[in-house]
Structure 1
């Protein structure tokens, strides 16, 4: 077919093909291999997929949870439909010293993992499960102090088409953390860490070890605190711009600004920044969900709704494509909540409460020609076919059987 069609037409056709088919097509001929593995095509295919997802409402969710009975972290991509049906069960090929990896973030089909949930290690991995490729990041340049705090953020620098991990380190000082922190950035294009500590001149303390950061508008966002005087702190949101590599502060509503940061978490609702405010640090009876309708405009913060958490709800996980929300609940696992009618739907996904992670997902070819230190795989039809076949069929959760 390509002998009779211009290359730009072939690219336009191939950009509409699912990722797993494109992997097989790389073995059709040298021209198709060259086209599909070209960075320009990878970007075109990604943009086409994102556009189609928006127009067709065919959204996917990446979900991770830890099954205590099987002693395994389970990873899957789900259709974001009413029952959250499984689209693809994933085998995580990496070994962890903890029960499971921390999910640093998900962006354009890439999942950033850090092996530091309970015991700190410097292991950070960028993984594309759709094409079974990964990159193990090199040893960071900055040393982590055992009594300090190390935070990570992951996202894309769209202007330079580069994926980055930012690493922020605090030293302990008088039962608090010394400011400003030390900061370094890893860029996928160079494969190296670079010290940018001079970018962190504002005396804030980021908080994201138990509440994860979120990526929006080219920046990673954390809940943070800033010292006003010797006896008081002000909570805020701090974003790290992946392109400019600078930190920017974003104020919270006045009624929230003096809330303990441990009662706050940040997330994304569509194209807007969202904030969850818990009544208590642990086992709240209620939480309130806010959204910043106009990015960066403090006056646009709006309280959307209140969630009654008295029936075992533990954590707000994030928004779904229909603006329902995902919550983790004691005993019942991951549940979907409709804030309009205040109704909960059980999703039959069980695990330890703090192990749940959910975020929107889009399949991509990013890393197709990249490094892979975990899965040595030849670029052939048989290798790709076997890789797809090895994706496990979803088993019914043993917790359901015991209930």
Structure 2
């Protein structure tokens, strides 16, 4: 009964958005990470997943992947698609490329009910290369005509389109001025084509340490925390993409408590907090030292109100450092799902 497609869709539509946050095993330096589900004031460890970096979640599925592992070459660049709810997993075939860095985005084409994994590769002396894998197939395919710059930030998939944002350096060789341009790149999962989405000129320059890509009410949005991060003010600006074809954006300023601009930062490179998507018009603010103060903050976009939610730590997590630093690549919004990887691959 629970494998029936109508039941799976009904279950997913009633599931609330939660967070997945990963922390390193302090007993194994540079080793595997452990995945925690944060929901209803509880942090629950999800066992059985060798976790490294993760993509954003689509219909309850996520990709976990590794960069170059010199001590374990066979594990380098491995990509696994998994469903934490059912504990199913699928290891994808080897890739065509093996550059220094990779970024993974999981996409879904609602017209064909097809899942695809978009992979970007880049290195010190090479351009960016793209390849794609259709879940249920047997090999990666090279995608041409992609953007020259691949963002290190996570992409999100909405209505069959993967979005991510980055700042491009437009300075010329004979100029001493550095001119930056904001761009949002959209990838149509069904047609497998890239396009650029116009960004308002008054929008601040994208910074992966001070901004987050999120979704609000089915729309892609950018949560800009630069004024808070630089202690200029307590205002966080949320830019919501109302029309991706014509580049129509709406803007909302949210005032945070005064203490947020004086919040201690574990590392100057990292931020005071990260922003994640929630249900409806709500977002979640996650302190960068999450396992130190054990709390997240819920924020209603329309009303501008903010409230604190204490998180109870599981008793068996003695291996977790109480000053663990959370970075955006370790945070994933997640909805529990009964989507079957076995069924997808069988079809």
Q: TM-score, normalised by structure 2?
A: 0.76
Q: 1:333 to 1:249 in 2, by over 3 A?
A: farther
For CA contacts below 8 A with separation 6 or more, give which structure has more relative contact order: 2
Aligned to 2:248: 299
Q: Are the equivalent residues in 2 in contact too, given 1:236–1:257 (CA < 8 A)?
A: no
Give SS of 2:48's match: coil
Q: How does 1:334-345 map to 2 (within 5 A)?
A: 334-338=295-299, 340-345=304-309
For residues 135-155 of structure 1, the C-alpha deviation after alignment (integer angstroms, 9 at most, x for no partner) is 1011111231x3xx4222112
In the other structure, the counterpart of 2:216 is: 269
Q: 1:102 to 1:135 in 2, by over 3 A?
A: same
Gaps of 5+ in 2: 173-177, 265-270, 314-321
2:151 equivalent among 207, 220, 238: 207
Larger radius of gyration: 1
Bigger fraction of residues in helix: 1
Provide the rounded CA distance (Å) in 2 between the counterparts of 1:136 and 1:306.
44
- Quote the offset at 1:125 in angstroms: 0.1
Select 1:225's aligned residue among 167, 189, 193: 167
- The size of the alignment, in residue pairs, is 306
**Matches of 2:168 and 2:22, distance apart in 1:** 33
Q: For residues 360-371 of structure 1, what are the structure 2 equivalents within 5 Å?
A: 360-369=334-343
Equivalence for 1:64: 21
Aligned to 1:325: 284
Normalised by the size of structure 1, how large is the TM-score? 0.66
Is this contact kept in 2: 1:114–1:125, CA < 8 A? yes
CA 260–127 in structure 1, closer or farther in 2 if over 3 Å, else same: closer
Q: Hey, what's the Cα distance between the residues in 2 that align with 1:301 and 1:44?
A: 35
Partners of 2:285 and 2:299 within 8 A in 1: no
Q: Which residue of 1 aligns with 2:111?
A: 159
Determine helix, strand or coil for the equivalent of 1:92: strand
Look up the match of 2:319.
Answer: none
Match for residue 137 of structure 1?
A: 92
- Report whether the alignment pairs 1:111 with 2:62: yes
Matches within 5 A, 1:163-174: 163-173=115-125
Aligned residue in 2 for 1:399? none
Cα distance between partner residues in 1 of 2:344 and 2:156: 25
Q: What per-residue deviation string (whole Å, max 9, x for no partner) do you get for residues 302-348 of structure 1? A: 13424444324723231322614231243314512435334433324
Runs of 4+ residues over 6 Å off in structure 1: 117-120
Q: Secondary structure in 2 aligned to 1:45? A: helix
- Residues 362/117 of structure 1: CA separation in 2 closer, same or farther (3 Å cut): farther
Cα separation, 2, equivalents of 1:172 and 1:76: 34
SS in 2 for 1:192: coil
Query: Is the 1:75–1:92 contact (alpha carbons within 8 Å) kept by the matching residues of 2?
Result: no
Residue of structure 2 in register with 1:73 after alignment: 33
Deviation at 1:287, TM superposition (A): 6.1
